[in-house]
Structure 1
Amino acid sequence: MVIPQPRLLAVAICAALPLIVPVAASAQDADPTTLDSVTVTGSRIKQSELETHVPVQVLTREDIDRSGFKSVSDIVQNLTASGAGLNTKFNSSGNFGFPPDGGGVGAGAATVDLRHLGPKRVLVLVDGIRWVNESSGSGVGSAVDLNTIPLALVDRIEVLEDGASSIYGSDAIAGVVNIITRKNVQGGDIELHYGTYDDLGGDTWGADMGYGGGTDRLQWFVGASYFKQEEISSLEYGPASIPVPGTGLSNGSSATPQGRFVFLDPDTGLVHDLTTNTGVTDPTFVPGQECARTDGFHCFATADRFNFAPYNLLLTPSERKTVFAQARFAFTDSVGGYIRALYNERQSANQAAPEPFFLGTDAGIYNHWGESSLVISALNPHNPFGFDLTTMGADPNLFLLGRRPVEGGPRRYEQDVETWYVAAGLDGSFDVRDRPWSWDVNVVRSESSAEQTNYGSYNLRRINEALGDPTACAAIAGCVPLNLFGGAGTITPEMLAFIQPVVRDESENTLTLVSANITGALFQLPAGPLGFAAGYEYRKYEGRYQPDPITVAGEYNGVPSGPTAGDYDVNEIYAEVAIPLMSNPERGSALDMSIAGRYSDYSTFGGESTGKLGLRWQVAEELVLRGSFAQGFRAPSIGELYGTLSRFDATLVDPCSGAGATRPECVAQGVPPDYVQTNPQISVVTSGNADLQPETSRSVMLGAVWSPSFASNATWSERMDLGLTFYKHTIEDAIQAPDAQVILNRCVFDADPFSCASYDRSERGQIIRFDDILDNLGTIRTDGWDLSLGWLLPEQDWGQLRFDAKATFVGEYELVNESGQAEPRAPGVEVNNSAIPEWTSTLSTQWSKGPWAVAWTVRHIDELRESCGGAIGFDICDDSANDLNTLDATTYHDLQLSWNSDAWMRGMRVSLGVNNVTGEDPPICLSCSLNGYDAATYDLPGRFFYARVGLRF
């Protein structure tokens, strides 16, 4: 471990001092009376909640119970400032493969995204200390899986919606989610819960248990949590059971159970595009009517495409088991210690349609066995054409063979993930000239490891052997000549036994952390004590991903990937001061400033300094103005640095396909006039980049909190709080790969040299190479407003009412690529399973009287628009002339009735609720990859009914 020189502490402080920029602080909505000093997310200096200079939204246990949700991810993903985070509604396996973020799909995980800047730019803490990144057997993840933290452990969730790299280090660009665990628990509690979706199923049930106690010196708490969620097939919801609702089979796959065969007949010199007559679903079809064939084949057409959607999942299964314990012991009145431990196990699954075979020269250049070394022998008893079909030599004649082996069943990806976490530390307090000081030292070791087992994939080398010379096949143990030409049902169990392996991938993320902090008052100023905090932190990240040996050998028919392994460490020091500039207690006014600086020394790229400045002006007892300016950075993750070449299958629309083939730009690329894109999914290669540099950012926040005196202790209002916050984030050198569709469009329409160099075409026009490698390419700019209202009415004979409203307006979101052009993401736009609504809002109303309470919550998502893409001309595209499809505004209503009584034991609570009372369906989305809607933005269709029973003893 490299310990930084003491002089670096001064460097960190000095780095922050010049940042004298007008700012405002956003404190959480809290009572303006004097509070005990505590550590609040966004500052290391102990202070009262109202004194913070940054916006911190606190979700209490009551808020969590009232929401009706049973996971941390569902809670935070429904904040108005949240963007598109991964969750269990997102069936993220199969063709998603390894998207160009260096981290794999993280199937079965759940993440949080703030300000639409991505989960990798949100720091997740538990009791102020970092949590290990996710591992799901499909890459080296760079975000925390919130499913590893059960709600049974949570006391409250604090969400900082501001940059905080100078306080917490890397990743805190968009904000911080700090999960505060339960402490000082006396006695036990148990809660049982059950829920289900009407007409869909997807039953969920589980139990949370906890027990705590203590003595004068010892305080302890132990607990366990169990959660199980059943899957829902896409067949249960009509729009999810076709590739893109309203477009028929146009976006279906050309790999079908009957097969698609594009080849050149060496005897005639003619190119054929055929499929078998078996399994034809069109009742008007007469064999031989197309291509004038009478040999059991006809020309391939849109009606022959395969509908893969029914094999997907609308809700993925997940089973989670957690045990946890923590204890605190006071050695003396001023020195104590703690230990905290957690073990979490998750079994989850994702599912995709039967894995297709794409063989031939037009299938791409990413697989040696299927695209450059294949010979389907004329001697193969199942080859109906009487000549070799080959991809080899100077004159290959097999351009594409697409076959969907439904006989082998769907692809099923099952994850088994284990996460353990152990933290221990010492803390204490002392006085210096009657001024209180406190300190703490912490050690953390945590690991997340996973195995993903894939059923339903194939070995391409063995497919090659089974399609070749039968004599050579007979010499290989288990080899049986393979039939890809006879239609559905002609691949026998013996054929499957030879070509269908079980594929196992593994991944692991490890975190080692040591930190020390001290905070107190340096001396007294005329306006109050000068607060100070300083500390040191050492972190080491280690990660690896090991795909199955057949994948490493290049024999895997599915989405190939290479192994990844790497590590890095960082030494950091920071300092923070809180300076009272003016105080007038008689008028209730005060002005203070906070300054923070951090220096980080990374083993991968060297040193980096960040700073933050905040101002808070309490104009009067009822009005606070505040703001902040912050520098930030995010270090590239292990996957982004060391990820090896992998592939994901992107759904793209080739502008040169069909009528577009005659465009001059397409002709210049060598596209023939009769070119039609064979498949809507095009294989794209991505990889990490060891030369990546950190992202840097600037964040500005200005805000106000007003608690009008005329609304306090009045006949019509006990209390009212109004908040308004403006935010702005700018990220430079953003780590990204350009959007693949944008690359295609820029090459064709703008002749951009970088874009045109990213892909190659075959002589027939098909795209056979597409590279999309990570780099420091972009600049992201976003700004907007947060509004909040809290209103508590006086208690009456009929009960008491409370209203809480929050809304977020996104004014700007612009992602500028390496060519200075804006990518398609913008406010009010849906792109590839990721939406940025201009407005999102929630209104929560609660009535209570005695043991009874009724909560009604309204969640609103503004209207969105998207490009029609390949759906132009279909009814589902409501503005084809402008290439636009509209996703209507969506409003969800949630209702809960609860009864809470202390009449039995220490207390009992019963809750009955319905989320999405009106059964609102999500709007149909054309650019979304699965199930016809954006699962990261909208609820599942239909109502969710739930019941909970809790007992304290």
Structure 2
Amino acid sequence: MSILRRDPCRLALALATALLLPSAAWAQDADTDASANTTRTLDKVQVTGTRIKTAEMQGQVPIQTLTRADIERTGVQSVGEVLQQLTASGSALNTKFNSSGNFGFPADGGGVGAGSAQVDLRHLGAKRVLVLVDGVRWVNESSASGVGASVDLNTLPLALVDRIEVLEDGASALYGSDAVAGVVNIITRREFEGAQVTLNYGQYGEGDGASRGVDLAWGTQADRYSLFLGASYVKQDPVWARDRAQSRYPVPGTGVALGSSATPDGRFDFIDPNTGAQQSLTPNAGGNGAPVYDGSAGCTRSDDYHCFSSDDRYNFATENLLLTPSERKSVFGQFRFFFNDDVQWYLKALGNRRESRNQSAPEPIFLGPEAGTGNPLADNIVISAANPYNPFGFDLDSSDNLILIGRRPVEGGPRVFEQRVDTDYFATGFIGTFETSWRTWYWDVNAMYSRSKAEQTNTGSYDIYNIALALGDPAACAAVAGCVPLDIFGGAGSITPEMLRWIQPVVHDRSQNELSLFSANLSSELFQLPAGAVAFAAGVEHRRYEGWYQPDPLTVEGHYNGVPSQPTSGSYDVNEAYVELNVPLFAAQRFGDRLDLSLAGRYSDYSTFGSEFTPKYGLRWQVTDEFVLRTSWAEGFRAPTIGELYGSAARADLVLVDPCSGGGNAANCAALGVPAGYQQANPQISVTTGGNRALQPERARSFSAGFVWSPWFGNNAPWADRFDIEATFYRHHVDDAIQAIDAQTQLDLCVQTLAAEYCDGITRATTGGINGFNNRLTNLGSIKTDGWDVDVFWTLPITTIGRFKISWQNTFVGRYEAVGAAGQKQPQAPGVEVNDSAIPEWSSNLALDWNLGAWNATWRLRHVSSLRESCGNAVDFPVCPDPVNDRHDMGSVTYSDVQLGYRFEWLSGLQVSGGVNNLFDKDPPICLSCSLNGYDPSTYDIPGGRYWYLRADLRF
């Protein structure tokens, strides 16, 4: 633990010393409040990326500002959808992920975040993006499946938003942990006079996925106060995978061949004690008689059974969702009281409820040593010969003759996961100024409490303990009240309602995240230099995080047939202090108009791991009135979260390809205990994950350099009122990244090298199948990425046909290198699709806006460059064009969105707009390696994704 931790004198000395060393810092765009004409001086200083309350900070670092008009032009109804369309956005969770069920539990202990929407910048992950609301942190999500580490943007109603500022650079020196890839600051609506009603409706061209919303706003203001109140309601209907050709089967182009081996009729793999032959049987249609043991080898049978083949597999895709349904209700308000022109008090409050649903196919029951569930009740089961429904006449014993049973009880219906997430937020504080001699001092004191609480109800799952009892000795079953013998052998329909009542519970999981915060800030000018005043900001902050996850008692006891997990609970505190300086080095010199140096440092003291200091520096060189050069360098960090520290053992059911299946690498596989001729029976392998209390923070270094050019010949010219070009090079390097090794990579390297660092934790049954897979979080990973942002903005002169504006924003990813926890290179790279996420080499948004009188229109193009992927389990199918190199190319996609609006001069104004997103109904490229629905939902619109909408906005 650092010696600075408890010594304020050493803290002050460290801050001062670090700021004088060439080690880090920068500041940020000062975007004035959109209502600057009506607000007081105190309200004109809200900025992102700097704490200094001066206007000279403009253009210091790259920032995107999305105004309310920009947001409305997208036609979407959630903050998450807006942010995920940015070119710098990476793959993040959204409502197109049907993310319960087999997605399991990630190693970070955060759960699956079902029904939520997150933001990822620079493909560094949602956990490395800091989300602020009016410059203050927002509480992390609660998913009812873990203690979340990222903000759920669906807890923030879009009706609350005035604008969104996105800082595309590291900012830990200013904001602390998590601001590694950037900062999203959501500025709320504040000054409002009158009332507003906004109605939204839209649906997909296929006639499904309807979305409807109502927003209400009312505000009033006087000399001494202002009040804003609002309410929002949004309902999203589902889109089913079976209603789109691309998502009707587990992998497009393979039919049911890559479906599940757990079928409604059942698959039974065992060694026949009558012949000694291994059998893989499934009942014939309508047949459920006893097998005939005629001693024949292979699959020649004369009874009611046949040997299981790919044609028998179950198509689980028909029960899945392409777009998950949800309903969001919000109320919010903000009150400000002005004691005088120098001091104001504010109070903010929000309540948000999200009710959402995910659905998966009926839950499979896998039994036997190759079930791979990690649950001994399933893996070590013995099915009694005395069970009245056992047609084989002998025990099926996991330690002797049983290999695998896969039965999908369609009688119990699909798995349904229903979430109810309540988010509460309260904030209060004082903002003020005071004058001393020649300077103005700005100060603020803030307190905030926020809580996100979730409950998830799961129906359609099973109690494996009761299943084992009902399949065992009938006498033992009869001794337990309610137990009835279970028939898994008779094909679909053989499980009666009485049997279901014994084996099918209702599962309830709960979780909660809380954040309490206090901060105080001071900003002013210290003294004058020849080039101008040295400005500063300083402040302190205290935060407390608390979180817990409580799965159903059935799950805790190990009786749950689905994905198991254990409770998680933890808390920690952090105390911080920061200083920021802006130093003008010269002004109006032959070297240029102005050169500013920004310096900052932040000291953080965590109760979990000790102290951390993050410095930064930046330069902004105003070469001429038209040309600005800027650069910044910063150190950053991300503290391990509650889930990463305290998360208990949980399981993720992952689709993995066993390299030993089919005789690959025979010598090494034999050394691992795999018998000759082994074939992988079940592609879903359960991987156990969990937290690590010894984790240290991730550490990062960020660098950016670029220019902003507004050429003289593009301002007030015949061809342009204004023309701007902005280019920024960025580079991020994350060390000690908290991660578990990629499971497929670990399995491949284990078979290739036989090294203990890869093979430890992977165990196999005597049949060769994987029956245990354990990997945990460590601090050994690293990520290096760099690229360019290039933006062009062109406002054309007003003509008789109106005014046109063009904005073209581009992100080019030049490098992305990730090294896993065991030192191996990860598969992520520019132009590659892997693990349901993509890193396009080029992402682009081109928008053309038009205004003429009361009319307005927008045409947007969203472009994602081509990608490549592994064919995965489809490598042997014609849909894989290059099986030798295991490569499938995914073509580039360009979506076209249009909107047309008209403003009626009725009351205070009625704006009516209509539009179509994905006008030409462009389907996403087929993804062979993706988990569900045949495409990557974090990168593309859904298949059959033409979406039309109408909006009416009335003010009075």
Place the TM-score, normalised by the shorter chain, in its bin: over 0.9
What's 2:350 paired with? 342
Closer, same or farther in 2 for the Cα pair 1:585/1:421, shift >3 Å? farther
Give how far 1:249 is off.
Answer: 2.6
The amino acid that maps onto 1:745 is D
Deviates more, 1:547-556 or 1:588-597: 588-597
Structure 1's 878 and 24: CA in aligned 2 closer, same or farther, altered over 3 A? farther
Distance 2:422 2:31 in 1: 38
Q: Which residue matches 1:299?
A: 307
Distance 1:552 1:826, change over 3 A: same
Partners in 1 of 2:115 and 2:457 — Cα distance?
13
Alpha carbons 1:736, 1:776 under 8 Å: kept: yes
Q: CA deviation at 1:766?
A: 0.1
CA contact (8 A) 2:896 2:919 kept: yes
Partner of residue 773, structure 1: 776
Question: What's the offset of the Cα at 1:872?
Answer: 1.5
Q: Quote how far apart the aligned CAs of 1:279 are.
A: 6.3
Report the counterpart of residue 326 of structure 1 in structure 2. Answer: 334
Q: Which residue of 1 aligns with 2:165?
A: 158
Q: Is the contact made by 1:522 and 1:532 (CA closer than 8 Å) also made in structure 2?
A: yes
Kindly provide the amino acid, as one letter, of the partner of residue 368 in structure 1: P
Would the aligned equivalents of 1:537 and 1:572 in 2 still touch at CA under 8 Å?
Answer: yes
SS at structure 1 position matched to 2:113: coil
Residue aligning to 2:825: 822
- The reply on whether 1:921 has 2:923 as its aligned counterpart is yes
1:283 is aligned to none
Q: Deviations over 1:610-656 (max 9, x none)?
A: 01101000000000000100000000000000000000111111111
Pairing partner for 2:181 from 169, 174, 178: 174
Aligned to 1:519: 523
Would you say the 8 A contact 1:13–1:574 is kept in 2? Answer: no
Quick one: distance in 2 between partners of 1:117 and 1:139?
21
Is the contact made by 1:160 and 1:175 (CA closer than 8 Å) also made in structure 2? Answer: yes
Q: Assess if the C-alpha contact under 8 Å between 2:786 and 2:815 holds in 1.
A: yes
Gaps of 5+ in 1: 281-286
Q: Tell me which amino acid in the other structure corresponds to 1:714.
A: A
Query: 1:693 aligns to what?
Result: 696
Q: Alpha-carbon deviation of 1:362? A: 1.6
Counterparts of 2:890 and 2:777, CA distance in 1 = 31
* Counterpart secondary structure, 2:370: helix
Query: Structure 1 residues 182 and 301 mapped into 2: Cα distance closer, same or farther (>3 Å)?
Result: same
Aligned counterpart, 1:270 = 277
Amino acid across the alignment from 1:421: Y
Does the CA-based 8 Å contact 1:356-1:405 persist in structure 2? yes
Q: Which residue is equivalent to 2:608?
A: 604
Contact kept, 8 Å, 1:24 with 1:702, in 2: the verdict is no
- The match for 1:552 is 556
**2:79 is aligned with 1:72:** yes
Question: What letter matches 1:918 in structure 2?
Answer: F
One-letter amino acid of the counterpart of residue 191, structure 1: T
Q: What is the Cα deviation at residue 797 of structure 1? A: 1.1
Q: CA deviation at 1:49?
A: 7.3
Whether the aligned pair in 2 keeps the contact of 1:587 and 1:621 (CA below 8 Å) is no
Say whether residues 1:400 and 2:443 are aligned partners: no
Report the 3-state secondary structure (helix = DSSP H, G, I; strand = E; otherwise coil) of the residue aligned with 1:381.
coil
CA RMSD of aligned residues (A): 2.0
Corresponding residue of 2:892: 889
Distance 1:184 1:560 in 2: 49
- Write out per-residue CA displacement over residues 10-43 of structure 1, whole angstroms, 9 at most, x where no aligned residue: 422422331357x987758999xx9996232110
Structure 1 residue 299: Cα displacement = 1.3
- Secondary structure in 2 aligned to 1:882? coil
| 1:388 equivalenced with 2:395 (yes/no) | yes
For residues 630 and 785 of structure 1, do their structure 2 counterparts lie closer, same or farther at Cα, with a shift above 3 Å needed? same
Q: Paired residue for 2:115, among 108, 113, 132?
A: 108
Q: Distance in 1 between matches of 2:331 and 2:57?
A: 35
The answer to whether the aligner puts 1:504 opposite 2:511 as a matched pair is no
- Greater CA drift, 263-272 or 308-317: 263-272
Q: Which of 469, 492, 516 matches 1:488?
A: 492
Q: 1:134 aligns with which of 137, 141, 147?
A: 141
CA contact (8 A) 1:26 1:627 kept: no
- Closer/same/farther in 2, CA of residues 767 and 650 from structure 1, 3 Å limit: same
Once the 2 structures are TM-superposed, how far is the Cα of residue 291 of structure 1 from its aligned partner?
2.1
Counterpart residue number, 1:435: 439
* 1:84-99 matched pairs, under 5 angstroms: 84-99=91-106
Query: Distance in 2 between the 1:6 and 1:346 partners?
Result: 47
Letter in 2 for 1:845: L
Residue 715 of structure 1, CA deviation: 1.2
Query: How far apart are 1:863 and its partner, in Å?
Result: 0.1
Which residue number in structure 2 is paired with residue 51 of structure 1? 58
CA distance in 1, matches of 2:161, 2:373: 50
CA distance in structure 2 between the partners assigned to 1:89 and 1:867 by the alignment: 22
The 5-angstrom pairing of residues 775-854 of structure 1 reads 775-854=778-857
CA–CA separation in structure 2 for the residues paired with 1:933 and 1:29: 38
Q: Which residue of 2 is the match for residue 17 of structure 1?
A: 20
Counterpart CA distance in 2 for 1:549 and 1:354 is 22
Q: CA deviation at 1:926?
A: 1.0
Residue 369 (structure 2) pairs with residue 367 (structure 1): no
Quote the offset at 1:586 in angstroms. 10
Q: Which residue of 1 aligns with 2:290?
A: none
- Aligned residue type for 1:652: L
- With normalisation by structure 2, the TM-score equals 0.96
Q: Which residues of 2 match residues 189-200 of structure 1 at below 5 A? A: 189-200=196-207
Q: Match of 2:884, SS?
A: helix
Distance change >3 Å, CA 325–CA 515, structure 1 → 2: same
Indicate if the aligned counterparts of 2:758 and 2:822 stay in contact, CA closer than 8 A: no
Partners of 1:537 and 1:25 in 2: CA distance: 19
Instruction: Give the equivalent residue in structure 2 for 1:284.
Output: none
Describe how 1:655-670 pairs up with structure 2 within 5 A.
Answer: 655-660=659-664, 663-670=666-673
Say yes or no: does 1:211 pair with 2:211: no
What are the superposed Cα offsets for residues 378-414 of structure 1, whole Å, 9 maximum, x if unpaired?
11110001111123xxx42222111000000000000
Secondary structure at 2:718's aligned position in 1? coil
SS in 1 for 2:8: coil
Q: For residues 838-896 of structure 1, give each alpha carbon's deviation from its aligned partner in whole angstroms, at most 9, with x where no partner exists.
A: 00000000111000011000000000000112211322112222211011000000000
Alpha carbons 1:127, 1:181 under 8 Å: kept: yes
Q: Does 1:943 align with 2:943?
A: no
Unaligned runs of 5+ in 2: 288-293
Equivalent-residue separation in structure 2 for 1:813 and 1:293 (angstroms):
55
Cα offset, 1:50, TM superposition: 6.0
| CA shift digits 1:307-353 (9 cap, x unpaired) | 11111001000100000011010112211110000000010000111
Q: Which sits farther off after the overlay, 697-706 or 35-44?
A: 35-44
For residues 207-240 of structure 1, give each alpha carbon's deviation from its aligned partner in whole angstroms, at most 9, with x where no partner exists.
Answer: 0111111111111100000000001111111111
| Greater displacement, 48-57 / 89-98 | 48-57
Count of residues in correspondence between the two structures: 937
Q: Are 1:573 and 1:599, in contact at CA under 8 Å, matched by a contact in 2? A: yes
Deviation string 1:765-797 (CA, Å, 9 cap, x unpaired) is: 100111111111211000000000100011011
Distance 1:3 1:798, change over 3 A: farther
**With structure 1 as the length reference, what TM-score do the two structures score?**
0.96
CA distance 1:818–1:143, shift in 2 (3 Å): closer
Q: Which residue is equivalent to 1:714? A: 717
SS at match of 1:463: helix
How far is 1:290 from its partner?
A: 6.4
Counterpart for residue 542 of structure 2: 538
Deviations 1:542-568 (A, max 9, x none): 000000000000000000000000000
Deviations 1:713-735 (A, max 9, x none): 11111001100000000000000
Given the alignment, which residue of 630, 637, 641 partners 2:634?
A: 630
1:381 partner letter = P
